[in-house]
Amino acid sequence: MNGIPKENAGDIERLVEASQAGDRGSFDGLVALYQRRAMQVAVRMLGDADEAAEAVQNGFVKAYLSISRLREPKRFESWFFRIIANTAISQRRAGKNRTEKIKIAGDCENKKAFSPEDREAGKELKEAIQHAMLKLSKKQAQAIALFGIKDLPQDEVAEIMGCSAKAVRWHVFKARQKLKVLLKDYLE
Amino acid sequence: MKKEKEQIDLLLRQNESEQLAGVNWNRLQTSISKRLNQADRDKTSMMSYRRVFKIAAGIATAAAVVFIAVMIKTDMLTTARFENGPKVIGTFVASQGSAKVKILDSNEQTNQGKDQPTWIIIRTSEPQVVDNGQSRDENDFACLM
């Protein structure tokens, strides 16, 4: 998963507690640990890397400003992903800050590895997914985005979304049904 | 259905991979760090605004308390002053014995809502019509003079 370091829960808890005590360096450590997974969630919900980067930045700022109110540091992960998912949802609805966002994607070496045809096809797929995700309800978009994150167990997704695991599966099912219709041109 | 489900997941994963492949992680981390610095600055300035606001509110409250206290005291003094009645500087009694002219100290009347700097109250009773050959109007005129 994009080379995310596997930290043990104790280390994360210590970083969270230090951040709650006002240690900025510890929060920077959390940023380094979670920025990739946060981007994964946001990209799945928004379809575009630059949009996702905007949501992730805003999400980290929200988390930074409210981390002192987190009662159980061991629940940081679900708390944090809830912030990211909600921020992405708000951004998806408002479509704001489109002009202010910083170009995060587009000039990386990996991107150049794709042929022009691949890039064109990728752009088309991106736009189709963006359009399709906008047609999903908030819960469906959150469920399909979080469900696809490999090392995020279903019960944690349920905790992030504030519903039961059964309800999460239902939202995923409904989301897939809608996406099947909306993305039919891309399905074999 | 299972195949379609897998295909949808595959499409989402494909787009995710393509989008994330172009992300400059160092730039993103720097950008987040800048946002956090800005949030810190905003928080600090918000705290100083709050402090200034608290001081200003304290001063305004103290001024309001002083103002109310002064108003109450002034009102009590005025009431006490009028309880003794307006000060009479002079009294003239007309020769007919039926009217009084009082010249009052204007400073004693400032709280009665009158604008005149000095004023004279003429209090007169019905002139006694005596059978001395003078008309009633003449009697009134004598009072005013």
Q: What is the pLDDT of residues A19-45, one digit of tens each?
A: 999 999 999 999 999 999 999 999 999
Residue B120: domain span: 85-144
A4 — pLDDT class (breaks 50, 70, 90): very low
Average pLDDT over residues B120-142: 54
Of residues B27 and B135, more confidence is placed in: B27
Asked whether the predicted pLDDT for residue B6 surpasses 60, the reply is yes
ipTM summary value: 0.77
Average pLDDT over residues B114-140: 53
> Residue B58's pLDDT is what?
92
Handedness of CA B133, B138, B140, B145 (dihedral sign): negative
Statement to judge: residues B137 and B96 lie in one domain: yes
Residue B1 lies in a domain: no
What is the C-alpha separation between A179 and A2, in angstroms, rounded? 26
End-to-end C-alpha distance for chain A, whole angstroms:
27
> Residue A8's pLDDT is what?
73
How far is the alpha carbon of B40 from chain A, nearest alpha carbon, in Å? 9
Q: Strand ranges (DSSP E) for chain A?
A: none
Nearest to A187 among B7, B24, B28 (CB): B7
Asked whether the predicted pLDDT for residue B138 surpasses 80, the reply is no
R_g of chain B computed on alpha carbons: 44
Per-residue pLDDT tens over the stretch A103-147:
555 544 445 555 666 667 778 888 899 889 889 999 999 999 998
Statement to judge: residues B94 and B60 lie in one domain: no
Question: How many separate domains does chain B show?
Answer: 2
* DSSP string for B18-46: HHHHTB-HHHHHHHHHHHHHHHHHHHHHH
All residues of chain B having their beta carbon less than 8 Å from the beta carbon of residue A53 are: 23, 28, 31
Q: Name the closest residue on chain B to residue A147, using Cα atoms.
A: B9
Amino acid at A27: F
Q: Are A45 and A85 in contact (CB under 8 A)?
A: yes
> Residue B78's pLDDT is what?
59
Query: Which residue, B132, B101, B94, is CA-closest to B119?
Result: B101
Per-residue pLDDT tens over the stretch A74-108:
899 999 999 999 999 998 777 644 444 445 555 44
In a 10 Å sphere around its CB, with 0-12 CB exposed, 13-18 middle and 19+ buried, how is residue A7 labelled?
Answer: middle
Statement to judge: residues B91 and B75 lie in one domain: no
Average pLDDT over residues B8-12: 89
Residue B101 lies in a domain: yes
Domain boundaries along the sequence of chain A: 9-100+116-186
Q: Say what the pTM is.
A: 0.64
Burial A83-115, CB ≥16 within 10 A → b, else e: bbbbbbbebbeeeeeeeebeebbeebeebeeee
Per-residue pLDDT tens over the stretch B29-73:
999 999 999 998 988 877 778 888 889 999 999 999 999 999 888
Statement to judge: residues B139 and B105 lie in one domain: yes
CB within 8 A of B73, min separation 6: which ones?
none
Nearest to A57 among B9, B24, B31 (CB): B31
What is the C-alpha separation between B14 and B8, in angstroms, rounded? 10
Q: Name the closest residue on chain A to residue B35, using Cα atoms.
A: A61
Query: Which residue, A17, A76, A47, A55, is CA-closest to A148?
Result: A47
Q: What percent of chain B has pLDDT over 90?
A: 23
Residue B107 lies in a domain: yes
Statement to judge: residues B42 and B74 lie in one domain: yes
What is the C-alpha separation between A160 and A83, in angstroms, rounded? 9
Residue B6 lies in a domain: no
Average pLDDT over residues B91-107: 55
Supply the mean pLDDT for chain A.
Answer: 84
3-state SS of B91-134 is: EEECCCCCEEEEEECHHHHHHHCCCCCCCEEEEECCCCCCCCCC
- B11: tokens are 């499409």
The total of other beta-carbon atoms located within 10 Å of residue B41's CB is: 10
> Residue B106's pLDDT is what?
54
A9-100+116-186: which CATH architecture? Answer: Orthogonal Bundle (1.10)
C-alpha of B41 from chain center: 36
Statement to judge: residues B71 and B41 lie in one domain: yes
Residue B9 lies in a domain: no
Statement to judge: residues B73 and B104 lie in one domain: no
